[in-house]
Structure 1
Amino acid sequence: MKVLKRATVTLLVLYFITSMVYMVYQYKANNLASLSKGTLVLTVPSPRNDRILRLYEIRNTGMLTSPYSIRGEVEFEDGTKKTIYYQDSTSASEGEWVNNYTVVINNIPLNIWGSSYQLRMRPEYNQR
């Protein structure tokens, strides 16, 4: 009986630890704010010059298809920054403003107030 109780407690502790590790992994994988900064490759001011779109190239280590990713960030006039775009396995870095609220990054239109795009190696990360 003592062995069964000890085995049950051990399994519960392992389950708890595994669950916590998985939750941290999912948070990091789905959170655009946790991405590396990268090297600045493009800066585009908004039509009214009150916001700035910046594209960064992130050097990936261990990637089989492409060693680069692109991260897009908007800086608002108060200095706050918001990452709105991330794409794995590309070094294409085209960006432009359509109007003061919409940008197009690598042919993906995004509203800076609500849209974000992240294309990662796994299909479930597409268009969140």
Structure 2
Amino acid sequence: MKVTKVMKILLALLAGGAVFLFCLYYYFFVSLNHLPKGELLTETVSPNGDYTVNTYLANGGATVSYAVKGEVVYHKKKDKRKNIYWQYREETADVIWIDQHTVLINGVQLDVRKEVYDYRRQ
């Protein structure tokens, strides 16, 4: 009887540790919410003025190449910001609005309401 109780406790601790490690991995390596700010490259407003896409040049330091981050600002939602684009080994940003919700960033087409591009997931 005591062995089963100890096994349950050990399994619970193991599962908790696995969840904790997964959360750390997601936070540092998957989520776009924790990217470096970078230096502003472009600021482009949508045709209807509801959104602004800002692009930034992120300098990774001496041993890492530059990257471009794209961030959308939702003006109708109290200027809420969301990262929608992350591309490694780029130093420029060409931003073109296709329509009021669709933007083209360096050849990648995104609906700013629901899509994101992250080179690490391609």
Give the secondary structure class of the aligned counterpart of 1:44.
strand
Summarize deviations over 1:9-47 as a string: whole Å, max 9, x none. Answer: xxxx89976773454023321111111111100011110
Q: How far did 1:111 drift?
A: 0.4
Q: How far did 1:50 drift?
A: 2.4
Compared with structure 1, are the counterparts of its residues 97 and 24 closer, same or farther at alpha carbon in structure 2 (3 Å cutoff)?
Answer: same
Q: TM-score, normalised by structure 2?
A: 0.77
Give the whole-Å Cα distance in 1 for the aligned partners of 2:17 and 2:114.
Answer: 34
Structure 2: stretches of 5+ with no match in the other structure: 1-12
1:47 aligns with 2:47: yes
Paired residue for 1:115? 115
Give the whole-Å Cα distance in 2 for the aligned partners of 1:107 and 1:24.
Answer: 32
1:91 aligns with 2:91: yes
Paired residue for 2:8? none
1:38 aligns with 2:64: no
Q: How far did 1:109 drift?
A: 0.3
Question: Is the contact made by 2:57 and 2:69 (CA closer than 8 Å) also made in structure 1?
Answer: yes
Number of equivalenced pairs: 110
Give the whole-Å Cα distance in 2 for the aligned partners of 1:85 and 1:103.
Answer: 11
Summarize deviations over 1:54-98 as a string: whole Å, max 9, x none. Answer: 1000001222xxx21000011111210111000111113111111
Pick aligned residue for 1:69 from 67, 70, 73: 67
Compared with structure 1, are the counterparts of its residues 15 and 113 closer, same or farther at alpha carbon in structure 2 (3 Å cutoff)?
Answer: closer
Compared with structure 1, are the counterparts of its residues 114 and 15 closer, same or farther at alpha carbon in structure 2 (3 Å cutoff)?
Answer: closer
Give the secondary structure class of the aligned counterpart of 1:36.
coil
Give the whole-Å Cα distance in 2 for the aligned partners of 1:14 and 1:102.
Answer: 45
* Percent identical: 26
For the aligned residue pairs, the C-alpha RMSD in angstroms reads: 2.3
